[in-house]
Amino acid sequence: MFWSTVGRFIVIPIALLIAALVSGFVLFTLGLERITGALQGNRSGDDVIVAMFDLTQQGLLLATGLTLIPALVVVIVGEIARIRSAIYYVAGGGVALAAMPMLARMTESGNVVIPETTVLQVFATAGFAGGFVYWLIAGRNA
């Protein structure tokens, strides 16, 4: 019992880190494809530069620690409740990552600004991939 608990304390952070890397990879590649497609029709150089600075600013907002909270909640609830379902981790990962842009764009008054649907699709897809990887490594043995 003791060694299995110690093993879980080692496996969970490693699985969470690997799942985050997979989600980041999917988010970067799929987002880059969507951004390239959106900027392709825009021929003005000044508008592209402004769009890239805005994109960088949004990326820095998403890299804050606040956006990790939804993913941690999914993992903690799944581990405490001993949920072994792949559907829970895949759907939870999608919802957690789809919530990230909304949390990052929260105004000071507490209002949530809902981003475009393509942004939510990209984030949810990355969350699905990360949730599946977490389930493969640690979730199925919860």
Provide the domain count of the chain.
1
Q: How far, CA to CA in Å, does 17 sit from each of 13, 77, 113, 130? A: 6, 17, 28, 10
pLDDT in tens, 87-125: 999 999 999 888 877 776 665 566 666 667 777 888 889
- Token output for 117: 């649907």
The pLDDT value given to residue 51? 67
The pLDDT value given to residue 60? 66
CA distance 66 to 141: 28
pTM: 0.77
The pLDDT value given to residue 105? 67
Q: How far, CA to CA in Å, does 136 sit from each of 47, 92, 109, 115, 131? A: 43, 14, 40, 30, 9
- In the predicted model, what is the mean pLDDT of the chain? 79
Split at pLDDT 50, 70, 90, the class of 63 is low
Q: Tell me which residue range forms the domain holding 81.
A: 2-141
Check pLDDT > 90 for residue 72. no
Distance of CA 84 to the CA centre of its chain: 20
Side-chain-side CA neighbours of residue 60 (13 Å)? 6
Check pLDDT > 70 for residue 8. yes
pLDDT greater at residue 127 or residue 69: 127
Asked whether 97 and 130 are in contact (CB, 8 A), the reply is yes
